[in-house]
Amino acid sequence: MRSLLALLIALALPGAAGAQILFSPEPVAACLETARTAGDRAACIGRAAEACRAAIRGATEVDAATCLNGETEWWLLRLEEAHARMKTRAALLDVEHARSISQGAPKLTDDLALFQAAWRDWSERRCFFEAMLLRGRPDRMVKASDCMLRVTAEQALLLDEAAERR
- Specify the 3-state DSSP secondary structure of 127: helix
Closest CA to 68 of 94, 83, 48: 48
- What are the DSSP calls for 87-100, one per residue? HHHHHHHHHHTHHH
Provide the domain count of the chain. Answer: 1
Q: What is the pLDDT along the chain (166 residues), one digit of tens a residue?
A: 555 555 554 544 444 444 567 889 999 999 999 999 999 999 999 999 999 999 999 989 999 999 999 999 999 999 999 999 999 999 999 999 999 999 999 999 999 999 999 999 999 999 999 999 999 998 899 999 999 999 999 999 999 999 998 7
Q: How far apart are CA 33 and CA 28, in angstroms?
A: 9
pTM over 0.75: yes
Question: Which amino acid, residue 50?
Answer: E
Domain extent for 9: 2-164
* Contact call for residues 73 and 145 (beta carbons, < 8 A): no
